[in-house]
Structure 1
Amino acid sequence: MTTALWRRALAEGVGTAVLVAVVVGSGIQATVLSHDVGVQLLANSLATVFGLGVLIALLGPVSGAHFNPVVTLAAWWTGRRGRDGLAPRDVVAYLPAQIIGAIGGAILADAMFARPLVRWSTHNRFAGHLWLGEIVATAGLVALIFGLSRTGRAHQAPVAVASYIGAAYWFTSSTSFANPAVTIGRAFTDTFAGIAPASLPPFIAAQLLGGALGLILVTAVFGRLSPSAADEVVLPHGEQQLAEPLTTKAP
């Protein structure tokens, strides 16, 4: 039996909230502990790598651990002709959960550090080279996720996806948001990890374009995705209910 949709949506909301809390909270902590921007970015990226890896490993078996509207939309698109892919009702449940979770995560991080709960970011990120960075970061992320699925290595996602995001922090000009929900959440905090609301539309457009390019890339390299493979993003999920505690099983 598949996991109930409300449980999967809850997992997406909680996972995205914790992810944004990690990104924003570690950014605040880094600026408190160091005035060196390089050290701040290093601390922020390391915390994100570890946090994301743990979240994927924990919640992947429940919802697939998307935590990202681009990944959800890509999973729906590739599996739309199959019985096991994401249904439109799944997308309708996942996307609001991710966005609400991201906003809640930013508020939670600010609360933990005694910051104003909601203060719009003044960190302007409105520039063409940053949009290009988001296209590259998101295309690589989608290509990685679906490439792992296509080659039967989705179980490596916790390490692979977290490692890629950590690397993309450093090799992309935008520091790799690569996620519309996280981008929206980060607009609610005027801290190191924030993004000004006016910078949101082109960032999100670049991420959506990057997601489409990522699907084109993985199809060109690995061949057309099968509907069954599309359901294994980020981790295989929904094929059975969560395991019962061992104590409930007869010897």
Structure 2
Amino acid sequence: MFLAAVVVGSGIAAARLSPGDTGLQLLENSAATAAGLFTIILMFGPVSGAHFNPAVSLVDAALGGVTWRAALSYIPAQVAGCVAGAVLANAMFAQAAASIATTHRATPAHLLAEVVATAGLLLVIFSLARTGRAASAPAAVGAYIGAAYWFTSSTSFANPAITVGRMFSDSFAGIAPASAPAYVVAQLAGGAVGLGLIRTLYPTPVRATVAA
């Protein structure tokens, strides 16, 4: 919920503060998202492992980090949280609680970008987790997403749950329902690519040792 509120709310604020300047709006939106994501991971990492993203949860299950039952049980909460966050952001800016987005995004270039964005996000997370550097994940994930807003044509949704949530805000950060299914498919494909790369590059995770 907090993640979607940050993404959507900062998008609404950016559009109001910088009307007509899309580049500045994107800078404001990406900076807020990167900083917010860093903070939210720190807050909720000790509670749930910061599982905000179905693609991350499914890959974690495939790598044996969580059970499939746990991963699948996260998904409804992730989707509901992102929808609630978008509604909350709308309400904070005195917009209709749920306004269906009208921004169409599903071009071939955008979908390729979502595959790349999602695969890259998974590489960031699990390269750190599997080499004993998980403490760096909040900063690294925030930095990656902030950068991916700019180096991907899709502005790096990289998360099926937030894709669903962003349908419910007709704002700078919204995505039209007609575009969302293709985005989710591309993100899951990116998850599969990321899983393959993780298994190839980091086949053996570093195990923490306990002092005697």
* TM-score between both structures, scaled by the size of structure 2: 0.94
Q: 1:131 aligns with which of 93, 106, 111?
A: 111
| Counterpart contact for 1:138–1:210, Cα < 8 Å | yes
Equivalent residue, structure 1, for 2:2: 18
RMSD between superposed Cα atoms in Å: 1.3
Shift of 1:219: 1.8
Query: In structure 2, what is the Cα distance between the partners aligned to 1:112 and 1:198?
Result: 26
Query: In structure 2, what is the Cα distance between the partners aligned to 1:62 and 1:69?
Result: 17
**Aligned-pair identity (%):** 56
Q: 1:122 aligns with which of 84, 97, 102?
A: 102
Query: In structure 2, what is the Cα distance between the partners aligned to 1:92 and 1:98?
Result: 10
Query: In structure 1, what is the Cα distance between the partners aligned to 2:178 and 2:204?
Result: 37
Per-residue CA shift, 1:154-210, capped at 9, x if unaligned? 110010010000000000000000000000000011000000000011100000010
Equivalent residue, structure 1, for 2:87: 107
Equivalent residue, structure 2, for 1:60: 45
Figure out how many residues of one structure are paired with residues of the other and give that number: 207
| Counterpart contact for 1:186–1:195, Cα < 8 Å | yes
| CA 1:199–1:62: 2 relative to 1, 3 Å | same
Structure 1: runs of 5 or more not aligned: 1-16, 80-84, 230-251
Secondary structure at 1:197's aligned position in 2?
coil
Q: Show structure 1 runs of 4+ deviating over 3 A.
A: none
Q: 2:192 aligns with which of 202, 212, 226?
A: 212
Q: 1:74 aligns with which of 37, 59, 72?
A: 59
Per-residue CA shift, 1:118-174, capped at 9, x if unaligned? 111000012000000000000000111110011100110010010000000000000
Query: In structure 1, what is the Cα distance between the partners aligned to 2:143 and 2:109?
Result: 23
Shift of 1:104: 0.2
How is 1:22-61 mapped onto 2 (pairs within 5 angstroms)? 22-35=6-19, 36-61=21-46
Query: In structure 1, what is the Cα distance between the partners aligned to 2:204 and 2:154?
Result: 30
Query: In structure 2, what is the Cα distance between the partners aligned to 1:88 and 1:220?
Result: 22
| Counterpart contact for 1:22–1:47, Cα < 8 Å | yes
| Counterpart contact for 2:58–2:72, Cα < 8 Å | no
Shift of 1:89: 2.8
Deviates more, 1:102-111 or 1:211-220: 211-220
Letter in 2 for 1:117: A
Q: Rg larger in 1 or in 2? A: 1
Structure 2: runs of 5 or more not aligned: none
Query: In structure 1, what is the Cα distance between the partners aligned to 2:72 and 2:182?
Result: 23
Shift of 1:62: 1.2
Shift of 1:88: 2.9
| Counterpart contact for 1:78–1:225, Cα < 8 Å | no
| Counterpart contact for 1:107–1:117, Cα < 8 Å | yes
Equivalent residue, structure 2, for 1:175: 155
Secondary structure at 1:187's aligned position in 2?
helix
Query: In structure 2, what is the Cα distance between the partners aligned to 1:102 and 1:214?
Result: 23
